[in-house]
C-alpha cells in the first residue's frame, strides 16, 4: 500500500505545481485551450490522489474484501469514464487551435484514456487474484495522463 501513498504525493505535487505555474504565468483570463488542459490536469491528478487515498478508508472499515474491491472498482471505473469528455472538448478545440491539439497528442491521450478505462474495468469485473496490481496500474495511468497534460501546459502554449 506504500505505492498508493507515493501516487498521492506525486498527484498533489503535479496539481500544486500547476497552480503555481498558472498564477505566475497568467496575464489575463484563460484561453480556452489552457482552461481545458488545466481542468484535465486537475481532474486526473486530484482524481489519482483521491483514488490513492480511498483504499486506506475502505479496507479500514468492516467491509468484506469483495465489497471493498467492488467499491474501489466502481470508483476508478467511473472516474476514468469521465476522462472521455475532456478528449471530446479538446477535439472540438482542435479546429481553432490545431497547433496545440495535434493528431499525435490526441492519439496518445486517447490511447491512455482507453487503457485507463480497460484496466479500471478489470479491477471491477474480472475475478483476479491480485486486484491491487490492476488498481495500482489504473492509478499510474492516471498519473501518466496528468504528466502529459502538465508537460503540454508548460511547453505547448499559444504564441
**pLDDT tens digits for 74-124?**
999 999 999 999 888 888 888 888 888 888 888 888 999 999 999 999 988
Integer Cα distance of 96 and 16 in angstroms = 29
Whether 52 has a pLDDT exceeding 80, the answer reads yes
Report the 10 Å Cβ neighbour count for 106: 14
Lowest mean pLDDT among 5-9, 27-31, 67-71, 99-103: 27-31
Q: What percentage of the chain exceeds 70 in pLDDT?
A: 92
Among the listed residues 131, 140, 128, the one whose alpha carbon sits nearest the alpha carbon of residue 55: 131
Return phi, psi of residue 83, to 5°: -80, -30
In this prediction the pTM is 0.84
Among the listed residues 46, 57, 56, 54, the one whose alpha carbon sits nearest the alpha carbon of residue 75: 54
Amino acid at each position: 500500500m506504500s505505492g498508493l501513498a507515493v501516487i498521492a504525493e506525486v498527484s498533489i505535487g503535479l496539481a500544486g505545481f500547476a497552480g503555481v505555474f498558472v498564477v505566475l504565468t497568467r496575464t489575463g483570463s484563460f484561453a480556452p485551450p489552457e482552461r481545458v488542459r488545466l481542468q484535465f490536469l486537475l481532474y486526473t491528478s486530484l482524481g489519482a490522489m483521491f483514488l490513492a487515498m480511498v483504499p486506506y478508508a475502505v479496507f479500514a472499515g468492516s467491509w468484506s474484501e469483495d465489497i471493498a474491491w467492488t467499491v474501489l472498482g466502481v470508483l476508478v471505473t467511473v472516474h476514468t469514464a469521465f476522462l472521455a469528455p475532456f478528449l471530446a472538448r479538446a477535439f472540438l478545440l482542435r479546429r481553432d487551435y490545431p497547433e496545440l491539439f495535434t493528431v499525435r497528442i490526441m492519439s496518445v491521450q486517447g490511447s491512455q484514456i482507453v487503457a485507463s478505462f480497460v484496466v479500471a474495468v478489470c479491477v471491477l469485473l474480472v475475478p483476479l487474484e491480485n486486484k491491487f496490481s490492476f488498481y495500482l496500474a489504473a492509478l499510474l495511468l492516471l498519473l501518466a495522463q496528468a504528466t502529459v497534460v502538465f508537460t503540454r501546459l508548460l511547453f505547448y502554449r499559444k504564441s
